[in-house]
Structure 1
Amino acid sequence: MIKIFMSVGLLFSINLFASTGHDHSHHGTKKGTQEKVKAYIKACDDGDMKSCNNLAVLYDLGEVVKQDKKKAIELYTKACNGGSKYSCNTLGNMYFKGDSMVQNKTKAIEFYTKACDAGNDYSCNNLAIIYIRGDGVKQDKEKAKELFFKACDSGNIGACKNYKKLNESSK
């Protein structure tokens, strides 16, 4: 039984915190990247949440622009509030790990739930892991199973493996 839970734990940890929805098309010449950043800024200001997310990633990682975690969080929040499931997932990751902010698992769960409800399979998988571990919530294997299934149904292979392992360990 311990062996099963250790295997399940390994699978659970593999997919936790994946996917930013980051567009890597900014890589290229210096002039081209500066123009891309300007285009992201304009598009974000005009309400394009994908551009807000991409700009947030640049500030978060310090790619092309000077790293500014505070600005990144502002942009992720704007994009999440505007419907970007990737930004919501990233905020969930940041709150869960305490990356550039005080760790807050309740907030992490809130953002993961918002992203999962919007169809982000990584967030559904992350939530399932949280429920299976009882990490910040009451442990709930049935809820975890539902979330793994939802993520698996969206094409998340790791979630499919997690779902299968959870079913096998329940027998």
Structure 2
Amino acid sequence: MAFDLKKEEDVKDFIQNLGIEYRLGCYNEKNPEACHLLGDYLEAIKKDFERAGKVYRSNCDDYKFHKSCHKFANYQLLGRGCKQDEKSAFTYYDKACGLGNSDSCFNLGLICSSKTFEAAQPQNYTLGLKYLDKACTMGHAGACYHAGALHILGTTDKTVPQDMKKAFEYSIKGCDLGNMYACANASQMYLKGEGVEKDDKKAQEYKAKALDFQDQYKHQFQIEFQQGLQEK
């Protein structure tokens, strides 16, 4: 059946059929991808966060689908469609991280490095760095930046000592993955000769990269902002 998505009735039918398709794929075919899409459908289209959360949790527990584990962890952390439970959020982030979800590994790194989520995990910089390192290794630019930042300053409890060489390595990787703050840190380290041999040319190169990423971010933000205004 062909849909004319310029017609309101056809759009409604298309969306309704999507829901049916995802339910069949999830409950009849036992397809984890379809189950996750069903959760996204309930979340984004139906705004039924309680049911979406149940679908994500089931898909995580039954099929070990890391994206659903991550989504349910977010729900638990924020209390979205359910009672807030930071310990449960930590457990599901850990599941997702173990299944290869870099965003969950990154979130665990931030949780462990902060005092904000003591109910989930007492502050533990060593554990936090372990998760950040794992996420960075998996290609998460933000994790590389934060791991580098921990080594630039060192932690107050001295469990992570200042180590400019490691900070430089993390910053370079974070920059290569597209994090402008990591590029800025790499530029400063080249400029001052901290963690790497002083090199003014390289310092300027990484400064230019940081500014380029900044411009890209501003441009993307402007596009998204304009689109948002048009939708209103």
Q: TM-score, normalised by structure 1?
A: 0.77
Distance 2:81 2:70 in 1: 15
Corresponding position: 1:103 with 2:102: no
Letter in 2 for 1:39: E
Partner of 1:130: 111
Does 1:49 find its partner at 2:32?
A: yes
Listed one character per residue, the Cα deviations across residues 22-62 of structure 1 (whole Å, up to 9, x for unaligned) are xxxxxx6624433332221111012111111111111112x
Q: Which residue of 2 aligns with 1:75?
A: 55
Picking from 124, 128, 132, the partner of 1:144 is: 128
Q: What amino acid maps onto 2:15 in structure 1?
A: T
Distance in 2 between residues matched to 1:96 and 1:73, nearest whole Å: 12
SS at match of 1:124: helix
Is 1:40 matched up with 2:12?
no
Q: Which amino acid aligns with 1:109?
A: F
2:65 to 84, 105, 111: 84
Larger mean CA deviation between 66-75 and 99-108 belongs to: 66-75
Aligned counterparts of 1:138 and 1:33: Cα–Cα separation in 2 = 44
Contact 2:60/2:66, CA 8 A, preserved across alignment: yes
Corresponding residue for residue 43 of structure 2 = 60
Amino acid at match of 2:35: C
Q: Distance in 2 between matches of 1:103 and 1:113?
A: 17
State the identity as a percent.
26
Amino acid at match of 1:43: G
Instruction: Give distance in 2, aligned partners of 1:144 and 1:38.
Output: 42
CA distance in 1, matches of 2:20, 2:135: 35
Structure 2: distance between partners of 1:84 and 1:169: 37
Residue segments in structure 2 that go unaligned for 5+ positions in a row: 155-161, 163-232
Runs of 4+ in 1 over 6 A off after TM superposition: none
Match of 1:114 in 2: 95
Task: Give the Å deviation of 1:79.
Answer: 1.0
The alignment partner of 2:84 has SS state of coil
Greater Rg by CA: 2
Q: Which of 1 and 2 has higher RCO (CA within 8 Å, sep 6+)?
A: 1
The aligned amino acid for 1:55 is L
1:119 partner SS? coil
Deviations 1:70-121 (A, max 9, x none): 2211211121111111111111111111112111110000100000000100
> Which runs of 5 or more residues in structure 1 are unaligned?
1-27
Secondary structure at the counterpart of residue 160 of structure 1:
helix
| CA distance in structure 2 between the aligned counterparts of 1:133 and 1:95, rounded to whole angstroms | 18
